[in-house]
């Protein structure tokens, strides 16, 4: 069985979707949820599923990286799933968990990736560039923002009247459908 940790920063809708999807799957156990803030919505969602929650701030992530890696290895974590985790993963993490850290990005990488490209920022940039389609990319994490090997991409069309908010809803639909399938592909 694979032991997984979900890292999240926000409301945790993708984290909750994964916890629900894999609740009875004997191949994977979502063992931990790591939140970057104690007021993140993901904390309540994780508690609903009786998951152990740890809060790891940006300061802790950057200054106590070795201790966090040691903790995760002590918990026998095999896979780290970034579900809306907005902090950059330190290179020591990538080295400690090679091809074991997976991220969900709300665009068709390599377009609209990198620092500051998250949430509505991505959707505004896509619409302003008059793209005809957008989508999601699930990829491995490496030492550069949004540059890791792609595992799966899913697309949606962009209408002439699209707004960042309406595109966000389309993207969320793709995330809920395809993120669990991409994780399942790795099992």
Tens digit of each residue's pLDDT (9 = 90 or more) over 166-175: 999 999 999 9
What is the set of domains in the chain, with CATH numbers?
A: 1-98 (3.40.50.170), 106-137+152-187 (3.40.50.170)
Query: CB of 115 within 8 A of CB of 42?
Result: no
Give the span between the Cα atoms of 47 and 117, in whole angstroms: 29
According to DSSP, residue 114 is labeled S
Tens digit of each residue's pLDDT (9 = 90 or more) over 107-161: 999 999 988 898 899 999 999 999 999 999 999 999 888 999 999 999 999 999 9
Average pLDDT over residues 4-11: 95
Give the gyration radius of the chain's Cα atoms: 16
Residue-level pLDDT at 116: 87
Instruction: Give 134-175 as a DSSP string.
Output: EEEEEEE--SSTT-SPEEEEEEEE--TT--HHHHHHHHHHHH
pTM for the full model?
0.94
Using pLDDT thresholds of 50, 70 and 90, give the confidence band for residue 3.
Answer: very high
Using pLDDT thresholds of 50, 70 and 90, give the confidence band for residue 86.
Answer: confident
Active site residue ranges: 105
Residue-level pLDDT at 115: 86
Q: 174, 141, 138: which is closest to 153 by C-alpha?
A: 138
Residue-level pLDDT at 182: 96
Tens digit of each residue's pLDDT (9 = 90 or more) over 16-57: 999 999 999 999 999 999 999 999 999 999 999 999 999 999
Residue-level pLDDT at 29: 96
């Amino acid at each position: 069985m694979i032991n997984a940790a979900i890292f999240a920063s926000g409301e945790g809708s993708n984290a909750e979707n994964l916890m629900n999807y894999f609740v009875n799957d004997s191949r994977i156990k979502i063992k931990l949820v790591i939140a970057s803030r104690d007021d993140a919505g993901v904390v309540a969602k994780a508690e609903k599923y009786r998951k152990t929650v740890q809060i790891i701030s940006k300061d802790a992530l950057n200054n106590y990286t070795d201790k966090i890696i040691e903790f995760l290895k002590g918990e026998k974590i095999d896979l780290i799933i970034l579900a809306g985790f907005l902090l950059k993963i330190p290179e020591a993490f990538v080295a400690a968990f090679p091809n074991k850290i997976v991220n969900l990005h709300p665009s068709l990488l390599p377009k609209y990736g990198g620092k500051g490209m998250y949430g509505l920022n991505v959707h505004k940039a896509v619409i302003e560039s008059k793209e005809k389609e957008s989508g999601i990319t699930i990829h491995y994490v490496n030492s550069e923002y949004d540059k890791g090997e792609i595992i799966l991409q899913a697309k949606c069309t962009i209408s002439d009247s699209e707004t960042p908010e309406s595109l966000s809803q389309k993207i969320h639909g793709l995330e809920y459908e395809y993120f669990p399938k991409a994780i399942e592909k790795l099992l």
